[in-house]
Amino acid sequence: MPSPSIDALAARLGIALRDPDAIRLAFVHSSYFNENATLVAGHNERLEFLGDAVIGVVVSSLVFDRFPDEDEGFLTARRAALVNRESLASMALDLGLQEMLLLGRGEAGAGGATRSSLLAATFEALAGAVYASEGLDVARDWLATAFRQRLGMSDGDAPPKSAKSRLQEWAQRNHRVRPRYELQEVSGPAHRQSFRVTAMLDGEPLAEGEGSSRQRAEEQAAEAALAGLRPAGRRSRARRGTRTGA
């Protein structure tokens, strides 16, 4: 199996890794496995599933402890701001994970190593691999340190608004109607479903989004719709959003 620089990664993580081979699996994309099944033990999707859960627990605990007097809505918004696709992708880039990815020829040629959704999924897979090979305490300490640096907020800060909330405010201000979200497709096995929805306004599609739950897909669609709005406040053509694993 190809050998990404696990020693260098361990130094960046601040972890003395006991099982480097388990960590390497976090960087094997399914497209690479499909083309090189005899060279690798598997791909990283199971680790991605595990890492999503581990990150959720660590970040939930972090914001719960940081804001003892805030309600569920505030904590949910804080957590969402920390674990969204762009945030996880940025953390992956900070660690140089894009240089360690093993991709199939087609995925690599299409620029897969630069896609936020793939980078975020790789960060989740790494979290799952660290948890599986090094244990909960090690994974929690690393993730808590990484996310605590990104939290960087005082207790008095207002919670960030979700993309859906911001899109609704824009729609009501400019069109006096609320956006709605139409479910287009549910795909994948029961334990790993993917939802695709379209954000609609006045019967017109604004953008699509995908996610591991309908709620996440709607949030991605809202983000894509907001990104496609013209500065003058008019709608542009629908733009397709991308998935997040967490």
Residues marked as catalytic? 52, 124
Q: What is the dihedral of CA 168, 169, 173, 175, to 10 degrees?
A: -10
Beta carbons within 10 angstroms of residue 209's beta carbon: 29
Cα–Cα dist 39/107, whole Å: 18
Residues 6+ apart with CB under 8 A from 224: 199, 206, 207, 208, 209, 239, 240, 241, 242
**Contact of 192 with 212, CB cutoff 8 Å:** yes
The torsion angles phi and psi of 231, rounded to 5 degrees, stand at -55, -30
The torsion angles phi and psi of 240, rounded to 5 degrees, stand at -85, 135
> Can you state the angle between helices 116-134 and 136-151, rounded to 10 degrees?
140
**Contact of 85 with 120, CB cutoff 8 Å:** yes
